Amino acid sequence: MQRECDSAVFNFQKGDEDLIDGLIAHLDTHAHEVYDFFEVFKPKAKVIINIIPTKKEYDDLYRKARSLPGDLAIPGSFIGNYQNGVITFLSLHDYKSTTHRYKDVPFDEAVEYYRKTILHEYVHFVNEIFNKEHACSYTERYLSEGIATYLSGQWENKYIPFDFSIEDILHRKDISYGAYYLITKYFVENYDKRYVLEIFQSNRQARELLKDELYDKAKEYYSRLNKTD
């Protein structure tokens, strides 16, 4: 089945009909905020969002897209990804086959998180448009994942301990995305917007900024904030 909205084209199975209206409404409501942040125009070609009914099918597609061995185990936390204009996302109805804690919460709460996670992947789509417009290969990981969690609202109103190092941010693959969120939230809310977008275009500058001042300033800020709470 297929539905097209202002921001995307959804492909899904009949069992996911109950999710699509809410996903479309959420995406169309918040997409402009993503384009406004990156200061780019919405492209004529819409992102494709494929909702995959089972984790097994999702894992098979993930391996195939990356030319991975057919028997390679895919982590239970992997439920969505963006690549070349296509968002591939596992149906909420098979979260029971994942390690995500939202599989055990009330359905309405799980749906809300689900909408935000798809918006997270949409941010990657717009980030790629931004990169192409500015002829940069990609955005440094802590910023690309940080802005996706920030603009999607995934970590709003949640306590996240500042218990990670600069090396964790730059080199650990299994670091919580909450760490990227804290650093990026501080950055975009406390630095000049022109400078922020400049840093998004240069991986070298992003790493140097983190080491020279951003990490220390963010750590001090959140330390003071937590003391006053």
Q: Are residues 12 and 112 in the same domain?
A: yes
Domain edge (last residue) among 115, 133, 151: 133
Q: Are residues 169 and 196 in the same domain?
A: yes
Q: What is the β-pairing status of strands 47-52 and 86-90?
A: parallel
Query: Which pLDDT score, from 0 to 100, does residue 228 have?
Result: 64
Q: Are residues 69 and 32 in the same domain?
A: yes
Domain edge (last residue) among 93, 108, 133: 133
- Provide the residue range defining the domain that includes 20: 1-133
Q: What is the β-pairing status of strands 2-4 and 8-11?
A: antiparallel
Query: Which pLDDT score, from 0 to 100, does residue 229 have?
Result: 58
Q: Are residues 58 and 145 in the same domain?
A: no
Q: In which band, very low, low, confident or very high, does the pLDDT at 106 lie, cut at 50, 70 and 90? A: confident
Cα 33 from Cα 13, distance rounded (Å): 29
212: CB partners within 8 A, 6+ apart? none
Q: Residue 137 pLDDT > 70, yes or no?
A: yes
Q: Are residues 19 and 31 in the same domain?
A: yes
Query: How much of the chain, in percent, has pLDDT values that exceed 90?
Result: 81
CATH number assigned to the domain comprising residue 121: 1.10.390.10
Query: Which pLDDT score, from 0 to 100, does residue 157 have?
Result: 83
Q: In which band, very low, low, confident or very high, does the pLDDT at 17 lie, cut at 50, 70 and 90? A: very high
Angle, helices 107-133/141-152, rounded to nearest 10 degrees: 130
Cα 141 from Cα 169, distance rounded (Å): 9
The pTM of this model reads: 0.93
Residue 96, classified by CB atoms within 10 Å of its CB into exposed (0-12), middle (13-18) or buried (19+), is: exposed
